[in-house]
Each structure stands twice: as structure tokens, then as C-alpha cells.
Structure 1
Amino acid sequence: MTMDRHRPKSAPSMAERHDDDDAVQPATLTDADGPGKWAFTILAVSFGALTAGLLVAGNLMTGNNRLMSGSDASAAAGMQGLDIRFTDPAWDGRTVPANALCSRYGPTGKSPGLAVSGLPADTRMVVIAFNDDSYQRLSTDGGHGTIAMPVPPEQSWVAIPPVAGESHQLPADIIMVKPHRGALHTGTAYLPPCSGGAGNHYSAVVQAVRTPPPGPSGTVQIMPQDVLAQATISLGRY
């Protein structure tokens, strides 16, 4: 009896395996297996697909499908992690507060205040890049604006104050690294969530860098090798 003719011609290698290896796998059937085994296999495959679909849907609702925790993200990038927390309880990382939107949908909101700790000893600035993960043009490199705050020598934490959206007025010590790339009030440091309630997911990439703060009229250029630690925080959906 030759079993090889019922095996796939090439089995997947260990490197090709996915996280769903524990799901029910369809059996290899022969003509003698009968309709009962076919029915059982179809039912098992359908149940596995339904379970996977529910897990994906749950991740999409929370935004966890796009973000890792600070420690996980830093491990993937091969650098130290950061601890990032909101200083305003209105921000919960799941839903953007109703008063924190762009001027198109009400009074212009502010960015969330952030407490960032775990800074490496050589940190000179903390840089925050705001993104709309669901809108490709503004999904990377601070599409909603990039700001920075100097860090005193040997200080391991910093409190980033809220920044007014669509405004040239910045809090003391806050530096505009790059303006947002949106259409409202171009050239300003921060564009609040502006998707009109379409369910877009927003996040902020926070980096500790050894780049020194610029002079009064200087600009900031951050090199990849100057990034000492990094983490991403979910701002929520709007």
C-alpha cells in the first residue's frame, strides 16, 4: 500500500508555518473514506475559518492589528523600549475624544498629553510623529505632524504637553520637526484626527534620540543611528 500518492507534492517548511498551525487541518481523503468523512472535514475547515475571522474582526475593532506594545515594537526593531501613557483620562487608546478633532468637524482639538519614561541616558530629545494608519498618504513619517521636546541631561522621563491643532502657537519647549501633510492650515505642527468618523485608526510613534535640540532658527534633522529607543501608542479610532 503506497501512501505517498495521497501526500502533497511539497510539504511546507518550518519557516513557512503560520501562527494558525494549531487550527483544525483538513485530512487527506481517499475514495474509501466515504461522504461522512468529507462532511466532517468541511465542517472542521468552516469552523476554523469562522474562528480566524472572529479573531481578525476583534483585532480590527481595537486597533491591535496595526500596533505592538512599546516593548514588543522595540524588540522587533532591536532597540530599547519606552513606557508611554496618556496624561488625560479622556484618551483611552480606543476612541479619539470628541473634542480632539480637526476644525472641519467642530472646535479644533489638541494632541494628547503624554508621559514618556524609560529614556536612555544619552537622550537629548523625545520626538513624536502622529499618523493616520488608515489613510495611506498620512500613515507614515508624521503625516499628522511631528514635534519634539528637549530632555535635560540624565533625565529618564518627560511630560509632553498637549499641542493645539492647526496652530503656529506651540507650548514652551515644543519644537516643530515637520509640519503635517494634510490640507487644513498647512505648515502647522499638528493636525488632529480628521476622517469624519470613518473609523480611521490613529497612532503616535515616540522616539528617544541623541540628536541635540536646534538653535533658535535651526531645523531638526534626525538620523536613524541617533534613535536610542522607540515605541508606538494607539490614539484610537475616529
Structure 2
Amino acid sequence: MRRVILAAFVLLASAGIAVADMNVTLGSGWNGKSVPKGQQCTLFGGKGATPPMNATGLPKGTAWVYVEFNDKDYQPLSTKGGHGIIGYPVSGSSADLYAVPGLKGSLPGKAKVIKKARSSGKYASSGYLPPCSGGKGNRYFADVYAIDANGKVLGKKRVQIGRY
């Protein structure tokens, strides 16, 4: 049993080395510390869109990049794309993950809503729900996944979006 656990650990550790090359950076006014003015949800006067990102070092075989948006401080939307999951088809080892509008089920370009936000009532969204805590200082982040054509996760990177 101990050898099986050790073998699994070695396998995971070696997979982690490959993933270590994957990097994601925010663009266009997003600094990871605070959500830029106007990028909050419409309920609080914004017209938020996803932060533009650049992903580099994508593992060989990556066909899609999925971005799961979450609110670390609001438990119902804190994991597994609580604020929505957006997918971008990619080819090669890098990708520009362009901004897409919040609250929309139909997106520009080839991006698509993989899973709409789990919010409901006046917070309901057909896609990505922009930060919507009303300026309470909630921490928002995105988990960025490299996915192959069969849906297998090849790599993952977390990026802090900022507080709102």
C-alpha cells in the first residue's frame, strides 16, 4: 500500500513539474490586487467583463483553455466556477484569453460559456457574473485549465483577479 501511495505521489509530482511551466498573466488594467473601476456587476453600477489574460507554457495537446471564475469570500460561489466558466479554443503553447462581457450567454469570437454562474435571483447570469460583492472587499480569483480534445485536464494555474 505504501508503494502505491508513493507511486501516486511521484506521478503527481512529475505532472506538477510539467504544469510549472504554465503561466497566466492579467492584462488591460487588471493588477490582481483590486478589481478595476467599472468591472463590477451591473447591480453595483458596472459593466464588467472577464479580465483579459495571456496563458503561456500550455502543455502539448492543449485544445481548450477553461477559466473558472470564483469569489473566495462567498462560499456558494467560491469553487468550481461559481461566477461561471468560459472556454477558449486554442492551438499552440500560448493563448490570448480576450475579455468577454459579463451576464451574456452568447459571447464574441470563439469563446463559449461552458457553465453559467451559479448565482440566482437578481444576481442571475447567463454566463460570467462579474464581481458583485458591493465593494465589501471580497477576493476574486480564476482557475485556468489547459484541456485536451478529449476533455482531460493537462494543467492548471490559479490567478488572483483582485478585491471588490
1:93 maps to: 32
Q: What is the identity, as a one-letter code, of the residue corresponding to 1:178?
A: K
Local SS of the residue matching 2:19: coil
Q: CA deviation at 1:87?
A: 2.1
The equivalent position to 1:118 in structure 2, one of 36, 50, 57, is 57
**Unaligned runs of at least 5 residues, structure 1:** 1-73, 213-221
CA distance in structure 1 between the partners assigned to 2:15 and 2:162 by the alignment: 23
Q: Does 1:199 align with 2:131?
A: no
Contact 1:132 1:138 in 2 (8 A): yes
Greater strand share, 1 or 2? 2
Greater helix share, 1 or 2? 1
Local SS of the residue matching 1:130: strand
Deviations 1:121-163 (A, max 9, x none): 11110110000000000000000000111112xx110001101
CA distance in structure 2 between the partners assigned to 1:75 and 1:118 by the alignment: 18
2:102 maps to: 165
1:156 maps to: 93
Aligned pairs for 1:22-37 (under 5 A) are none
Local SS of the residue matching 1:85: strand
1:237 maps to: 163
2:111 maps to: 174
The equivalent position to 1:227 in structure 2, one of 138, 153, 161, is 153
Contact 1:166 1:185 in 2 (8 A): no
Root-mean-square deviation (Å)? 1.9
Taking only the aligned residue pairs, the percentage that are identical comes to 38
Contact 1:95 1:235 in 2 (8 A): yes
Rg larger in structure: 1
Contact 1:179 1:186 in 2 (8 A): no
Deviations 1:143-187 (A, max 9, x none): 0000111112xx110001101011233121101110001124635
Q: CA deviation at 1:75?
A: 6.1
Contact 2:19 2:155 in 1 (8 A): yes
Contact 2:34 2:162 in 1 (8 A): yes
Q: CA deviation at 1:76?
A: 10
Q: Does 1:140 align with 2:66?
A: no
List structure 1 runs of 4+ shifted beyond 4 angstroms. Answer: 74-77
Q: What is the identity, as a one-letter code, of the residue corresponding to 1:177?
A: I
Structure of higher RCO (CA pairs closer than 8 Å, 6+ residues apart): 2
Q: CA deviation at 1:211?
A: 3.2
Deviations 1:176-227 (A, max 9, x none): 1100011246351100000011110000000101135xxxxxxxxx4xxx11
- With the length of structure 2 as denominator, give the TM-score of the two structures: 0.85
- With the length of structure 1 as denominator, give the TM-score of the two structures: 0.59
Length, aligned pairs only: 150
Q: Does 1:106 align with 2:32?
A: no
